[in-house]
Amino acid sequence: MSSMSVDWSDACVLITGGTGSFGRAMTRLLLEERHVRRLVIFSRGEMKQLNMRREFKDHPALRFFIGDVRDLDRLRLAMRGVDVVFHAAALKQVPVAEYNPFEAILTNVHGAANVIRACIDAGVKRIMALSSDKATNPINLYGATKLCAEKLFVAANSYAGGLDTRFAVVRYGNVVGSRGSVIPLFLEKRRTGRLPVTDERMTRFWITLDQATRFTLGCIELMHGGEIFVPKIPSMRIVDLARAIAPGCQCEVVGIRPGEKLHETLVSEDDARTTLMYDNCFIIQPHHHMWDDLGYEPPNGGEPCPDGFRYGSDSNTWWLSAEQIRSLVQADERRYKSDAAEEQPDAEAALSYAGRPVDEPNVENRLEAGRPA
């Protein structure tokens, strides 16, 4: 399977949920390094769009669409002339989804189906959906909705038929620096002298925003349609994270929340049967006749997973050291303070929306977290 050439300088890209952590990081990467012709931010929040417009100083390639992935007509309008789509819009909080299941399904499942329909109708060339480790053997509603979305995007390649429209998925773990990360919670709670820890045994996969965006961008250039791409990323014990954030605080075990697991899995034993291992990632090939009918071949260098293989946060061979955890926390603390300041509505932001010049905000550089030797 050879790489798919993408002429980014002539491409129109759309990001659903584009004002979120991933969308902002991907926007910076596409504007500063890929120099895309046009970049459409599709999201529901007008204030977040206003702040993002200000953050990127009304970049001439940026366009902003107010809309919801639940609205198929609005998606169809936004997709006109689009070549590449990153689907990041979702309700992502596990407890929120547990107590608002209808809403989570409408956004994460029906919304995904709407994105697929709109992309096929508009003839979009490449679509990459973001998924989560919680989609693997899910025990909570959020994970179940992401599993459904994965299935929809893989099967969408058959719905596209002979069109040059291809869908794939990226599945990864917790994102350091995202708004849903546990780090901001720990930073807030440390002033009390106690940090709430659900279970001292709990582990999680971790990936930085920069790693997530670059990996996703590379996958969309490599994809042929139907794959689920999984990066090889480190694990961290939640209690180690708490101690790195507040060494002098007491960890208070509060118990696992509804829908939580002790450990997460990115490649299950069942997935592993059709998964190829590479130096930096896994590629899960679809259980689908389309994969064979169209004669796809995987990239060179991949090896089948051994029998019984499972890629879990507890069985991972790559663990973050105490020093690396502290570096991540320090970078995220600066980013958290910067984001909190940006989200405050003010007169200067209103002037930015009116097209008048304002000072450039201080945007924290993305943390470079390389894999240890």
All residues at 6 or more sequence positions from 237 whose CB lies less than 8 Å from its CB, including other chains:
202, 203
The helix or strand, by DSSP H or E, that contains position 176, with its residue range, turns out to be: strand 174-176
DSSP assignment string, 73-97: HHHHHHTTT--EEEE------HHHH
- What does the DSSP assignment read for 183-235? HHHHHHHGGGTEEEES-TT-EEEEEEHHHHHHHHHHHHHH--SS-EEEE---E
Query: Which residue(s) pair with 194 in the sheet?
Result: 250
In contact, 76 and 122? CB cutoff 8 Å: yes
What is the enclosing helix (H) or strand (E) of 303?
Answer: strand 303-304
Rounded to whole angstroms, how far apart are CA atoms 162 and 276?
Answer: 27
Alpha-carbon distances of 49 from 55, 335, 364, rounded to whole Å: 10, 18, 19
- Name every residue whose Cβ is closer than 8 Å to that of residue 353 and which is 6 or more positions away in sequence: 50, 53, 54
From 57, 92, 125, 134, active-site residue: 134
- CB environment 299-331: b (16+ within 10 A), e (fewer): eeebeebeeebbbbbbebeeebeeebbbbbbeb
134 as an active site residue: the answer is yes
Catalytic residues, by residue number, are: 134
